[in-house]
Amino acid sequence: MTWQTLGRGMRRLTLILALFFPILAHAAAFSEYELKAAFVYNFASFTDWPSKAAPGMSVCVIGQDPFGRALDALEGKAVKGQSLSVRRLSTIAEARTCRVLFISASEVNNLPRLLAAVKDLPVLTVSDMDDAAHQGVIIGLAIEKQRITFEINAAAARNANIVLSSRLLNLARNVYPRP
């Protein structure tokens, strides 16, 4: 194939594509953390905490906050009749007062230590670092083929005394440990 024919082919291809461009225009996409914030909101809505859980509905972030304003947009929304509040933690000891703890991917090297610190607390841990659920986080978020997916570590949820709705378990791409 010479360069000229390749060039002609390319031009023809572009013309064909031009005819189909409304299809391209249709695929509007959302920003990753706006969408992940919506997932965090849903996770909170489909979780039952034991009575000894922290009062209020605090969603906390530890490590470098990737959400920016996307998470603050959840502030004040009603979850199970309680008003959601967003907090950024500076030490893991503060996690005691949280219902949901989002562990930032920046904490990948600290994960075992952070999980150990909240091991027996009724805190729903969520993270989007690689293989989070496999490593003991209750819900791990990931992106696959430009769509958000999540995995659940059921054993970790049980240890934390937290009940996740069957709807969440059904929608999860994976539930650990495998039966």
Partner 1 sequence: MSKIATERSAAFRRSAGCLRSAVMSALLVISATAIAAPLDDQQDLTALPMEQLLNLEVYAASKFAQKVSEAPSAVSIITAADIKAYGYRTLADILKSIRGMYVTNDRNYSYIGTRGFSRPGDYNTRVLMLLDGYRLNDGVFDGALIGTESIIDVDLIDRVEFVPGPGSAIYGGNAFFGVLNIITKNGKGIGGTEISGEAASFETRKGRLTYGERSENGIDILLSASNYRSRGENLFFPEFNDPATNNGVARNLDHDRYDQLFTKFSYGAYSLDVAYSERTKAIPTASFGQVFNDPRSHTADEQAFLNLKYYDKLGTDLDVQASLYYGHYAYCGDYVYDYPPVTVNRDETRGDWWGGELRFLSTAFDRHKVIYGVEYRNDVHQDQSNFDVDPFVSFLDDHRSKRTYGVYAQDEFSLSDSWILNAGLRHDHSTEDPDATNPRLAVIHKFTPVTTAKLLYGTAFRAPNAYEKYYVTDASLYKANPDIRPEKIKTYELVLEHYLQNDFRLTGSIFSYKIDDLISLTLDPNDGLLVNRNIDVAKAKGVELEAERLWHGGTRLRTSYTWQSAEDGTTGVRLSNSPRHLAKMNFTTPFFGDVWRAGSEIQYMGERTTPRGGTVSDFTIMNLTLTAERFAKNLEVSAGVYNLFDKKYADPPSTEHFDTLGRYLNEITQDGRSYRLKLTYRY
Q: Which stretches of the chain bind partner 1, using CB under 8 A?
A: 1, 3-4, 6-8, 10-11, 14-15, 17-18, 20-25, 27-35, 37-39, 41-42, 46, 64-66, 74, 77, 90-91, 105-106, 108-109, 112-113, 116, 129-130, 143-149, 167-168, 171, 178
Handedness of CA 128, 137, 139, 90 (dihedral sign): negative
Asked if 127 contacts 105 with a C-beta cutoff of 8 angstroms, the reply is yes
CB of 129 to partner 1, least distance (A): 6
Nearer to partner 1, 31 or 52 (CB): 31
Q: In degrees, to the nearest 5, what angle opens at C-alpha 176 toward C-alphas 173 and 179?
A: 105
Whose Cβ is closer to partner 1: residue 51's or residue 117's? Answer: 117
Q: Which is nearer to partner 1, 51 or 81 (CB)?
A: 81
The minimum distance between CB 60 and partner 1, in angstroms, equals: 15
State the Cα–Cα distance between residues 33 and 74, nearest whole angstrom.
Answer: 12
Nearest to residue 156, comparing CAs of 173, 141, 136? 136
- Whole-angstrom distance, CA of residue 179 vs CA of residue 175: 9
Q: Which is nearer to partner 1, 19 or 52 (CB)?
A: 19
Q: How far is the CB of 74 from partner 1 (least distance, A)?
A: 7
Q: How far is CA 131 from the centre of its chain?
A: 12
Q: What angle do CA 48, 50, 52 make, to 5 degrees?
A: 145
Question: Least distance to partner 1 from the beta carbon of 51, Å?
Answer: 26
Nearer to partner 1, 28 or 52 (CB): 28
